[in-house]
Amino acid sequence: MKNITNNNSAYLLETIFKKIPVGITVENKKGFITHANKSAAEIFGYNSEQELIGENIKHIFGNYKIIDDNGIRISLRDRPASKIFAGLEEVSEVLHFIDKKNGTDKWLLVRASAVKISKNKTPLAVKSFKDITPTIEEQKRRELFLGVVSHELKNPLASIKAYTQLLLRKEDIKNDSNINKYLTNIDSQTDRLTQIINDYLDLTRLTNGKFELNIRKFNPDDTIDKTIADFLLTTKTHHITRTGKIGINTIGDEDRIIQVIINLLSNAVEHSHKGNIINVKSEKDRNFIYISVLDYGVGIPKKYQNEIFKLFRTIPKQTGKKSSGLGMGLYISQAIIKSHGGEIILNSKVNKGAEFIVKLPKK
C-alpha cells in the first residue's frame, strides 16, 4: 500500500469536503462565509459554493424565520456560530427554517465547532447542516396518526367497557353462568386492549422525547393501598398481602407510579399459579423508598433477567405457552422509574418466584 503524501491527503480532504452530502460552511467572527461546499449552497438556495462564499450570515439567515425545536424564534445572536464565538466549543441544535418569501420550510440539524488556526487568532466557526425534514415530517405524521387512532379506538372501548359492566350487574345475567363468563371475558379483553393502546402511546412519547411527568407531593402508602384495592377488583385468582409502611410523603408523578405497580402486579398474576399469594412490601432507608412486588410463581431464568427490561422482549412461560404481553410494560415501567431518579431491581430464581423492587429517591 502506498503512503499518502501531504498533497494526496489535502486533495482527499478537499474532495470529501466538496462531495459529502452534508452542508458545511466556515464562518469568521464578522459573520462572513470563508469556505462552503456544494451541499451548503443547495440547502440555502445558491447555485454554487462560489456564490455562497463571501456572503454574510446576516443576509443568508435574514431570508428565513428560524425557530428552535421548542417553538421559540431565535435571533442572529442566538444562532449556533454566535455561541461558538461567545466561548462554547461545540453546539448542536435542531432548527426550523421558514422561507420568508414563499413560506417553504426545512428542518436542519445544525452543528458548530470552534477551530483555531493559531493561538493569537480568533477561532473560526465550522458548521454542518443536515436536512432532516423527511424525518421530522414522518415523525409528525406518526404522531398525528397515533393521536387519531388512540381517540378513535379508546372511545369505543370505553363504551364497550361501560355496557359490559352494566350487563354484568343485571340479576338475570348474574344467574346465567355461561353469559356471565362471556361478558367477563369481554370485559377483561377490553381492559387488555386499552392497556396495549396506552402502552404504545407511552412508548411513542418516550421515543420522541415527549414523555412528561406531573410532579407533586403524595403519600406512597395511600397510593399503594388504593392501587391494590383497585387491582383486586380485576382479579379473582390471586390474593395480595400488604406488609411494611413507608411513613412519609414523597414527590413524584403519582399516576405513573400507580401505572408501574399495576404492571408489576399484572405480571405477578400472569407468571404465578391461580390461588397464589402476591406480597406487596414497602419500606425506606436513609436515602430511598422501596416498593416490592413478590410472587411465588415459576420465576424468571437467569438468562432472561437482563432481557426483560428491553423493548419488545418477553419470556416464555414455564408452562410452554407464549407470554400474552408485547414486551412494552417493563420497558416503560423502568423508564418511568428512571425518570424519577430510581430503578427497578429484579431478584428471581426458577420455581421460587420473582421479586421486582421499585427503588425511588426519598424526597
Mean pLDDT to the nearest integer, 48-77: 89
Mean pLDDT to the nearest integer, 50-66: 92
Do residues 27 and 83 lie in contact, with contact meaning Cβ atoms separated by under 8 Å?
Answer: no
Residue 124, beta-bridge partner list: 115
> What pLDDT does residue 246 have?
96
Cβ atoms within 10 Å, residue 319: 9
Residue 120 has pLDDT above 70, yes or no: no
Q: Which of the listed ranges 102-106, 159-163, 164-168, 174-178 does the model predict with the highest average pLDDT?
A: 102-106
Bridge pairing between strands 288-295 and 250-252: unpaired
Question: What secondary structure letter does DSSP report for 323?
Answer: P
Cα–Cα distance for residue pair 91/85, rounded to 1 Å: 11
Same fold, 6-131 and 213-363: no
> What pLDDT does residue 32 have?
94
Residue 130 burial (C-beta neighbours within 10 Å; 0-12, 13-18, 19+): middle
Angle made by CA atoms 114, 119, 125, in degrees to the nearest 5: 20
Residue 157 has pLDDT above 60, yes or no: yes
> What pLDDT does residue 132 have?
93
Do residues 271 and 298 lie in contact, with contact meaning Cβ atoms separated by under 8 Å?
Answer: yes
CATH superfamily, domain 6-131, is: PAS domain (3.30.450.20)
Domain spans of the chain, in order of start: 6-131, 134-211, 213-363
The pTM score is 0.59
Element (H, E) at 193: helix 177-207
Q: Average pLDDT of the chain?
A: 86
Mean pLDDT to the nearest integer, 244-265: 94
Residue 356 has pLDDT above 90, yes or no: yes
Q: Which three cell numbers stand for residue 30?
A: 464578522
Cα–Cα distance for residue pair 332/345, rounded to 1 Å: 14
For the stretch 170-228, pLDDT in tens is 877 777 888 888 888 888 788 878 878 888 778 777 776 777 888 999 999 999 999 99
Element (H, E) at 190: helix 177-207
Q: How confident is the model at residue 264 (pLDDT cuts 50, 70, 90)?
A: very high
Backbone torsions φ then ψ of 118, nearest 5 degrees:
-150, 170
Q: Which of the listed ranges 30-44, 154-168, 312-326 does the model predict with the highest average pLDDT?
A: 30-44
Mean pLDDT to the nearest integer, 228-234: 88
Q: Give me the percent of the chain exceeding a pLDDT of 90.
A: 44
Residue with cell 424564534: 73
* CA distance readout (Å), 356 to 44, 115, 261, 291, 309: 54, 50, 10, 8, 11
> What pLDDT does residue 4 have?
44
Greater model confidence, 274 or 94: 94
Q: How confident is the model at residue 324 (pLDDT cuts 50, 70, 90)?
A: low
Do residues 282 and 290 lie in contact, with contact meaning Cβ atoms separated by under 8 Å?
Answer: yes
Mean pLDDT to the nearest integer, 297-320: 78
Mean pLDDT to the nearest integer, 296-305: 88
Cα–Cα distance for residue pair 282/276, rounded to 1 Å: 20
For the stretch 93-104, pLDDT in tens is 999 999 998 999
> What pLDDT does residue 96 have?
92
> What pLDDT does residue 141 have?
82
Look up the CATH number of domain 213-363.
3.30.565.10
Sign of the Cα torsion 16, 19, 23, 25 reads positive
For the stretch 328-345, pLDDT in tens is 889 999 999 999 999 999
Kindly give the residue spans of alpha helices, DSSP state H, lying in 208-328: 220-232, 254-270, 302-305
> What pLDDT does residue 320 have?
45
Q: Which of the listed ranges 182-186, 273-277, 284-288 does the model predict with the highest average pLDDT?
A: 284-288
> What pLDDT does residue 323 have?
57
Look at residues 277, 267, 272 and name the one whose alpha carbon lies nearest to residue 344.
Answer: 267
Cα–Cα distance for residue pair 324/250, rounded to 1 Å: 34
